């Protein structure tokens, strides 16, 4: 049994901690509150800690074999808070010798015209894309200097049980389609898009932590073939027995007005391109080297609908 430190207890951090505990490891989760975001999991210890404090995070990481960077500041605060958080993660990895496993996303590539592979340049021009690219470049430079061991796992939009934030197939779409109501879509609802199933994110993070040949570079989490927002809503509604459900594109004018009142919508303007054109991920490099594969879509749909139905219709919702 080995000790693993997970920083952050959002959907990905919680899923990763749960998986590690199920495998018999000793798991500590560091968050600002020190409290689980949902139901407590046996074998997972929670620690109150400001993860951007290098001294505190370093103390918490001592003895760990792997350190998972699954925390993220609120979107409007990315440019101000990511550098300190990432520097603290790197400092803790250097002091403890733990493998630094970073959960990344696809913002760093910026707009591209083909399926994304890990060899694409990190050419983002917006501030959120640049700060995410800089985080990995910092860790990679330290890895290449022999000071830490680091790896990044990049995911597309999260989807699945436990994912309640984001407006694509979670907080906005799922409650509506379960009631047979229309779903509003950002961008073109018919353009292909890659969705990353949350349990597959956790499985990939845990797998590369133990694979030395994975370290020193970034990898894409395996996904099922890309589907548009409309196609995913149709399949989810069919699974729920509430279809067909209309999918309507949100007016750019309406989005602009809403952005005046919503910091989140205002920040999302930088990455609108992800839903205005095809946004697809190629994970063949990962699949050629490691064992994790995307969960079959039918299982993803069934688990997601079941989780949301319990959340919305369970005793606490009545």
Question: The domain that contains 54 carries what CATH number?
Answer: 3.40.50.720
Look-up: residue for tokens 């690219």?
Answer: 133
pLDDT of residue 261: 60
Residues 165 and 204 occupy one common structural domain: no
Three-state secondary structure call for residue 53: coil
Query: C-alpha angle 212/215/217, rounded to 5°?
Result: 150
What is the tens place of the pLDDT at every residue in 280-301?
A: 999 999 999 999 999 999 999 9
Residues 141 and 96 occupy one common structural domain: yes
Instruction: Give the H or E element holding residue 7.
Output: strand 3-7
Q: 318 lies in a domain?
A: no
Residues 23 and 44 occupy one common structural domain: yes
Residues 72 and 151 occupy one common structural domain: yes
pLDDT of residue 37: 75
Residues 96 and 54 occupy one common structural domain: yes
- Flag whether pLDDT at 318 surpasses 50: no
* Nearest residue to 290 via CA among 196, 206, 194, 199: 206
Contact 233, 247 (CB under 8 A): yes
110-140 in b/e form (b: 16+ CB < 10 A) is bbbeebbebebebebebebbbbbbbbbebbb
Compute and round to an integer the Cα radius of gyration of the chain. Answer: 19
What does pTM read for this prediction? Answer: 0.94
Residues 149 and 275 occupy one common structural domain: no
DSSP state of 37: S
Residues 42 and 181 occupy one common structural domain: no
Residues 274 and 131 occupy one common structural domain: no
What are φ and ψ of residue 100, in 5° steps?
Answer: -90, 115
The domain of 187 spans: 158-194+225-280+296-312
Task: Determine the Cα–Cα distance for residues 7 and 98; give it in Å rounded to an integer.
Answer: 13
Q: 288 lies in a domain?
A: no
Joined tokens for residue 22 = 């199920």
Residues 211 and 118 occupy one common structural domain: yes
What is the tens place of the pLDDT at every residue in 22-73?
A: 999 999 999 999 988 777 888 999 999 999 999 999 999 999 999 999 999 9
Share of the chain above pLDDT 90, in %: 79
Lowest mean pLDDT among 65-79, 87-101, 107-121, 302-316: 302-316
Q: 239 lies in a domain?
A: yes
Domain end residue (candidates: 174, 205, 220): 220
Kindly tell me the burial class for residue 85, based on how many C-beta atoms sit within 10 Å of its own C-beta (0-12, 13-18, 19 or more): buried
Tell me the CATH number at 267. Answer: 3.90.25
Residues 115 and 216 occupy one common structural domain: yes
pLDDT of residue 221: 98
Look-up: residue for tokens 């996904």?
Answer: 223
Task: Determine the Cα–Cα distance for residues 73 and 121; give it in Å rounded to an integer.
Answer: 24
Residues 92 and 170 occupy one common structural domain: no
Residues 103 and 245 occupy one common structural domain: no
Q: 286 lies in a domain?
A: no
Task: Determine the Cα–Cα distance for residues 13 and 181; give it in Å rounded to an integer.
Answer: 31
Instruction: Give Cα 127 to chain centroid, integer Å.
Output: 19
Q: 231 lies in a domain?
A: yes
Task: Determine the Cα–Cα distance for residues 98 and 93; give it in Å rounded to an integer.
Answer: 5
Task: Determine the Cα–Cα distance for residues 175 and 147; give it in Å rounded to an integer.
Answer: 47
Three-state secondary structure call for residue 54: helix
Lowest mean pLDDT among 180-184, 257-261, 269-273: 257-261
Q: 258 lies in a domain?
A: yes
Domain count, the chain: 2
């Amino acid at each position: 049994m080995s000790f693993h430190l997970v920083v952050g207890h959002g959907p990905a951090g919680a899923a990763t901690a749960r998986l590690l505990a199920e495998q018999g490891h000793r798991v500590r989760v560091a968050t600002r509150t020190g409290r689980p975001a949902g139901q407590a999991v046996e074998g997972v210890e929670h620690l109150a800690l400001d993860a951007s404090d290098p001294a505190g995070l370093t103390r918490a990481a001592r003895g760990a074999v792997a350190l998972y960077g699954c925390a993220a500041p609120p979107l409007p605060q990315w440019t101000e808070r990511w550098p300190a958080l990432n520097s603290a993660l790197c400092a803790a990895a250097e002091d403890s010798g733990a493998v630094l496993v970073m959960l990344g996303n696809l913002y760093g590539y910026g707009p591209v015209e083909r399926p994304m592979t890990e060899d694409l340049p990190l050419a983002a021009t917006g501030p959120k894309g640049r700060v995410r690219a800089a985080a990995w470049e910092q860790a990679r430079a330290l890895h290449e200097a022999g000071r830490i061991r680091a790896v990044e796992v990049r995911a597309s939009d999260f989807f699945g049980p436990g994912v309640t934030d984001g407006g694509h197939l979670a907080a906005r779409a799922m409650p509506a389609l379960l009631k047979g109501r229309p779903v509003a879509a950002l961008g073109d609802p018919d353009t292909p898009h890659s969705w990353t199933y949350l349990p597959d994110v956790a499985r990939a993070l845990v797998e590369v932590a133990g694979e030395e040949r994975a370290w020193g570079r970034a990898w894409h989490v395996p996904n099922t073939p890309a589907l548009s927002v409309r196609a995913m809503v149709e399949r989810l509604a069919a699974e729920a027995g509430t279809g067909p459900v209309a999918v309507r594109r949100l007016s750019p004018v309406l989005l602009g007005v809403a952005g005046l009142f919503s910091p989140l919508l205002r920040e999302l303007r930088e990455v609108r391109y992800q839903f205005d054109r095809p946004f697809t991920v190629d994970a063949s490099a990962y699949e050629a080297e490691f064992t994790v594969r995307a969960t079959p879509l039918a299982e993803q749909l069934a688990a997601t609908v079941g989780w949301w139905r319990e959340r919305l219709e369970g005793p606490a919702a009545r």
